[in-house]
Structure 1
Amino acid sequence: MRLLRTKDLQLEEFFGSSTPPYAILSHTWSREEISFHDMQSFAEKRSFGLSTPHAHRQPKIKSKGGYAKIASACAQAAKDNHDYIWIDTCCIDKSSSAELSEAINSMFRYYKEAEVCYAYLSDVRLKPEQAGYNCHLADSWCSEMGKSRWWTRGWTLQELLAPEWVIFFTSNWEEIGTKSSHKWLVSEITGIPSEVLQGAPLDSFSVAQRMSWASTRETTREEDKAYSLMGIFNIHMPLLYGEGEFAFIRLQEEIMKRSDDQTIFAWQYPPEHVASVFSSDVVGLLAPSPSAFTNSGNIIRIKNRDARPFLITNRGINLEIRHVICNEDAEKMWIVLDCQDTEYLGDDLCIEVRPSYELPGTAHRVGGGWLTTRTTLRTKSKVLTTKQDSIFLKHYTPTSSTLKVPAISISMF
C-alpha cells in the first residue's frame, strides 16, 4: 500500500502490518488529477533540485486543479495529526494492470481501515452569510449538499459505507458535518437506512437492498458499475476492462457462490423499458445493471431452512424453489422466491417463466420484473406443486443484439 506523507507530499510504500495509521480521501475526479507519475516527478524535484531531468514538470503539476486538492487534503490530515493519507489518484500506479487490480480489490478494506475519511464535495460552497452558523439544521443548506455530484458516483458508495468516521468538506475545505451527524440527511439522499450509516453489518441487508443503494449511481466505465460494488458484497474477482456489462453478470455469479439469497433475482426494468414487468418479452435471469434494482430497496430475504446453495454449472444455474404457480393450461408459470417486499409482508415474490416447446423440459424467464404471489393467484392460477423443485437457468451472456433483453432457459426435473 502506497501512502502520501502529509508533511512533505512524499510517497512511501508499506506492506501488511507495517502500514501506519492513515487518513483517506473520497472525492470525484476532474480532468486535471495528479497521477502517481506526477507525484514521482514532484518528489524528484524536491529531493534533487531544479537540475533533474523532470524538474521542468513541477510548475505544470502545481498548476493542475488536482494539486490543490491533494495539498489541502494533506494539510487537513496534518492538522488532525495524521502523518499519512491515501488518495486514489496518486497512490496507485495505474500503468500497472496488476497493481490497479490489487488496489481495486482492496479498496473497500483501505477505506474501512482508515482512521478517518475526508469526503470532499468540490461542487458545494458556503455562502458568506452561511459561514459560522449551524448549517446542519438549515433546509437550504441540506438541499445544496444533496445536489452534490459526489452522491451520484459509483465509487463513492463504498467510500461512504466502509469507513467508520466520514467528515464532509466544502470546495473551500470547510467542515460541514459527519456521516453520523448527518445520518438522516444522508439516508434521505441515498436511500440507505440510517442503521447502515451507524455501522450495522452490510450482510444483514439483502442482496437486492444493497444493490438498490447503487442503482442510481453512474461510473465513467461500464465495468466499474460492478467493480465498485465488490467490497460491499465481500467479493474479489479479476478486472477485465473491455467486457462491458458482462462484469455485472460476473459479479452476480460470484455473489451466488457465496450466498443463497434469492433476492438477487428480485429486479425489474422500469415500466417504459421494452421488457417491463408487464411485457411478454424473454429476459435474463440476472440483472443487466444495478439500475434494475432501483425499486428493490424494500426486498428482504425470507430464510428457507431447507434451501440449498446455488450451483453454477455448464448447464446453467441450479437452484431450489419451494413451489411453482401456473395457470390451467400451463402456458404461464411463476417461480416463487424466498423473499418479500416489506410493504407486503407475508406475500412472497415470484418471477414468470414460459415453457419452451423447442427444447422439452426448458423454460424462459419472461418480463423484466416480479409480482407478488397474491397478485399472481388472482389471475385464475393454481398452485401446481408445493414440493422442492430443482431448476436450471442458463447464464446470461450479453451481446450487442440482445442488449438489455438476454435469453435464459430453465430445465425443470
Structure 2
Amino acid sequence: MWLINTTTLARSAVIDSESCTYAILSHTWADGEVTFQEFAQLSHARTKPGFSKIEQTCQLARERGIEYAWVDTCCIDKSSSAELSEAINSMFRWYKNSAACFVFLSDLPDAIVKREMRNSLPNCRWFARGWTLQELIASNDIEFYDRRWIYIGDKVSLQAQLSQITGIDIEVLENNDVLPSIPVARRMSWAAKRSTTRVEDLAYCLFGLFDVNLPMLYGEGSKAFLRLQEAIAQENNDLSLLAWTSNETKGHGQDFQGALAPSPAHFSHCGSLQNLVDPGTPRADFTITNRGFHITTRLGQSGNEYLLFLNCVPTKATDAIIAIQLVRTAYSYVRRWTDVYYATSGGLFPLTEVTPVYIPKVISQPEPLALKAKLTRRFDLQIKNESDFQFDVRKRPEHLWDSLTNRFITDGYEKIMGLLEIDIRSSEILVGPPLVQGYGQQPGYGQHPGYSQYPGYSQQPGYGYGLNRNYPPMVEETFVFNSSYVAVFGLDTYRCVKERGIIDTLVEPWTAVYQLKDDKQISDILSEEKSHGLAYVLAQLRKVLNSRAAARSLPGALTITPVWTIDTPDGRPPADFMGSGQFSSKSNYQLIFSGRVKEREEFGPASGMYDLVLSFAETG
C-alpha cells in the first residue's frame, strides 16, 4: 500500500497498512487526475487539475493529526497488474481501516440553506458510481464536502438521507460488521442502479461487499459478474442469489434463463428481501459445477412446472416464499421466465422426492429458441388400465422421464428410443385352505371376510374357502401372468415428396410391445443390460427395430391369458368361478401400445409432440 505523507507529500510504501494511521479520499474521477507515475514529479503533478484533491485531502488529514493519506488516483500503480489486483481485492479493508474518509462531491452546488443542499444531494454522481458503494459502507468515519470543499455533514448526521438515497439499511451504515447477515440479493440491490466505466468493474467493485477475492481479468466483459456470483456461491449458503428478475426479454423469445443473473441491475427489486429464519427448515448445500448450479432438494410442483424455493420472502410483512419456476430438460432444469414466483406457503405445494437439480449457469442467445424447439419434441404417455389387476410400469431411460408432466423428453434427438417395463399382477387376497364344497351361506363359507362379495362365487354351490381353524390364513394371488412384458418406442425419420416435387423430411413415432418369453431376440438384448448398461441395450434395439420397414411390422398388441395359481384338485379354477377381472376363470386380456403425432411445430422435422398410449383391458 502506498501512502502520502500529509506534511511533505512524499509517497512511501507500507507493508502493513494496519500499523499506521491514514485518511482516505472518496470521489468520482474526472479529466486531469494525477497518475501514479506523474505524482513522482511533484512539479509536474501540481499542474494537473486533479492535484487540488490530493492537496485538500492531505490538509484535512493534517488538521486532524493524521500523518498519512491515500488517494486512489496516485497511490495505485495501474501499470502493474499484480499491484492493481492487490489494491482492488484490498480496497474494502483499506477504507474500513482508515481513520477518516473525506467524500468530495464535485458536482454538489453551493447551498445557501441546508434544505437546498439536501435536495441536491441525491443527484450527485457519487451516488451512482459503482466503486463508491463499498467506500460508503466500509468507512466508519466519513465527512462530506461540496465542490468548494465546504463541510456539509458526516455519515451519522446524514444517515437517514444516505439510506434513502442508496437503499442501504441504516443498521449497515451504523455498523458494517452486520454485512454478512444481509441477504445476498439485498446487497446486490444496492448496486442495481450504479455504473462503472468498464463493465468488469461492476463486478470488481463488489468484492468487498461479499468478502470474496478473485483475480482481475480485464477483457472478460460481463463474465466478471458471473465469476463473482460463482465465488459468492462457494462461500455463502444463501439461495437469494437466484432471486433476480428482469422484464427486458419477456415476450421476445428469451423464455428460458440460467441460474445466474447477467448484472446487478436484475436485483433492483430485492431491496426489502429477507431470508427465512427457521431452524426447523433444513438448508440444502449448493455448489457451482461444470454442469452449472447444483442443489439436492425437494422441488415444489405447480402445473407443468417445478418450483425451487429460495428460503426468502420479499419483505418482513409477508409469508409469501420466493421461488423460481423450472422446466425439466434431458439432463438439467432451466429457469422459466425471468420473474420470481411468490408462493403463499411452500407447504401447500406437492413436493418431489429429494432429487439432484442442475441449472445451467447462463443461457445466452440464441440458446432459448433452440431449447424451446427441443422441449416441443416429446412423448406424452397415457396409461389406461381398465382391469382389476395391478399394473406397474417402469419408464426408461429414467433421466428422460418427467413424472410431473407424464412425458419423455427427447432433447430433440431424432434417434431417441425408450422402453416401458410392465409388471401385471392380481391383488393379494386372504385365503385359508383346504378347499371344501358347500354353499356360500353356510357358516365358514360366504361369511369369510373378503369372499362372499365376489359375484358368481358364494351364492351358489361349488368351491368355497372355509375358515378351517387347523390352517392359518395366508396371502396369495388368484392369477398371475407368467411372462415379463416390454413396450418399446422411438422415432422413424423418412423423406417424402410433397407438392411440386418438394422433398420433405417427416418424423413418425413407432411402437411395439413384446411378451419376452415369446420373443427370444428382444429378450436376449434386454438381458444384456446388467453387463453392458441401458445405453448399449437401447443401441442394440435401435439396430433391430428402428427402420421404416421394421416400424410398419412391429407388434402393437398382445393377447394374454392369466394363470390360476391356487391349488385345486384339477389345477384349474372352479368352473363356476364366474366373476370378472382377476376373479374370472374365462377372461383374456389385451395389452396395446400405440403412438401418434399430436402436433407438429415450426422448429423442424423432429419438433413434433407425440402421444403414447399403453392400455390393458379385458377382452372376454
TM range (shorter): 0.7 to 0.9
1:178 is aligned to 2:154: yes
Q: Which residue matches 1:223? A: 200
Aligned to 2:163: 187
Report the counterpart of residue 107 of structure 1 in structure 2.
91
SS in 2 for 1:308: coil
SS of 2:37's partner is: helix
Cα distance change, pair 97–222 in 1 and its aligned pair in 2 (3 A): same
Aligned residue for 1:342? Answer: 315
The structure number with the bigger radius of gyration is 2
| SS of alignment partner, residue 342 of structure 1 | coil
| Deviation (angstroms), 1:299 | 1.4
**C-alpha distance in structure 2 between counterparts of 1:18 and 1:117, whole Å:** 15
Tell me, what secondary structure is at the counterpart of 2:231? helix
The alpha carbon displacement at 1:368 in A equals 1.1
- Partner Cα distance (2:28, 2:220) in 1: 24
Equivalent residue for 1:307, pick from 283, 291, 295: 283
How far residue 309 of structure 1 moved from its aligned partner, in angstroms, is: 2.2
Q: Does 278-287 or 204-213 show the bigger shift?
A: 278-287
Displacement of 1:76 in angstroms is 1.2
Identity %: 36
User: How big is the shift at 1:388?
Assistant: 3.7
Indicate conservation of the 8 Å contact 1:279/1:366, yes or no. no
CA drift of 1:311 comes to: 2.0
- TM-score (structure 1 length as normaliser): 0.84
State whether residues 288 and 404 of structure 1, in contact with CA within 8 Å, keep that contact through their aligned partners in structure 2: no
Deviant stretches of 4+, over 6 Å: 403-409
1:289 to 249, 260, 263: 263
Mapping for residues 325-336 of structure 1, pairs under 5 Å: 325-327=301-303, 330=304, 332-336=305-309
Give the alignment's Cα RMSD to 1 decimal: 2.7
Look up the equivalent residue of 1:294 and give its one-letter code.
S
Task: Output one character per residue of 1:66-110: Cα deviation in whole Å (capped at 9) or x when no partner.
Answer: 011111111111111111001100000000000000000000000
Residue aligned with 1:69, SS? helix
Aligned to 1:261: 238
- The reply on whether 1:38 has 2:8 as its aligned counterpart is no
Deviation at 1:387, TM superposition (A): 4.8
Q: Which has the higher strand share?
A: 2
Deviations 1:304-356 (A, max 9, x none): 652232122222221133431221xx3x2222221111165222111111223
Range moving further from structure 2, 73-82 or 26-35: 73-82
Q: Unpaired runs of 5+ in structure 1?
A: 43-57
What does the per-residue CA deviation read over 1:191-249, in whole Å, with 9 as the maximum and x for residues that have no partner? Answer: 11111111151012100110001110000000011100000100001110011111001
Q: How does 1:232-251 map to 2 (within 5 A)?
A: 232-251=209-228
Distance change (3 Å), C-alpha of 1:161 and 1:320: same
Map 1:20-39 to 2 at 5 A. 20-39=20-39
Partner secondary structure for residue 85 of structure 1: strand
CA contact (8 A) 2:192 2:264 kept: yes
Contact 1:22 1:114 in 2 (8 A): yes
Paired with 1:206 and 1:198, the residues of 2 have a C-alpha distance of 17
- TM-fit CA distance, 1:390: 2.7
For 1:63, what is the secondary structure of its paired residue?
coil
Q: What is the alpha-carbon distance in structure 2 between the residues aligned to residue 283 and residue 314 of structure 1?
A: 17
* Cα drift, residue 362 of structure 1: 2.9
How many residues end up aligned between the 2 structures? 373
Deviation at 1:406? 12
- The aligned counterpart of 2:102 is 118
Give 2:342's aligned residue: 372
Change (3 A) 1:259 1:18: closer
Cα separation, partners in 2 of 1:111 and 1:323, compared to 1, 3 Å: same
1:348 is matched by which residue type in structure 2?
I
Contiguous gaps of at least 5 residues in structure 2:
375-398, 404-620
TM-superposition CA deviations, 1:352-405 (whole Å, max 9, x none):
11223xx2x53311111201013999xxxx83416543311222276xx45999
Write the letter of the residue equivalent to 1:225: L
**Partner in structure 2 of residue 47 of structure 1:** none
Q: What are the equivalent positions in structure 2 for 1:63-78 lying under 5 Å apart?
A: 63-78=47-62
Q: Which has the higher contact order (CA 8 A, sep 6+)?
A: 1
Cα distance in 2 for partners of 1:321, 1:17 equals 45
2:344 partner SS:
helix
Amino acid at match of 1:181: S
Which of the two has greater helix per residue? Answer: 1
- Residue number in structure 2 paired with 1:52: none
Q: Distance in 2 between matches of 1:18 and 1:375?
A: 49
Q: Per the alignment, in what secondary structure is the counterpart of residue 385 of structure 1?
A: coil
Amino acid at match of 1:218: S
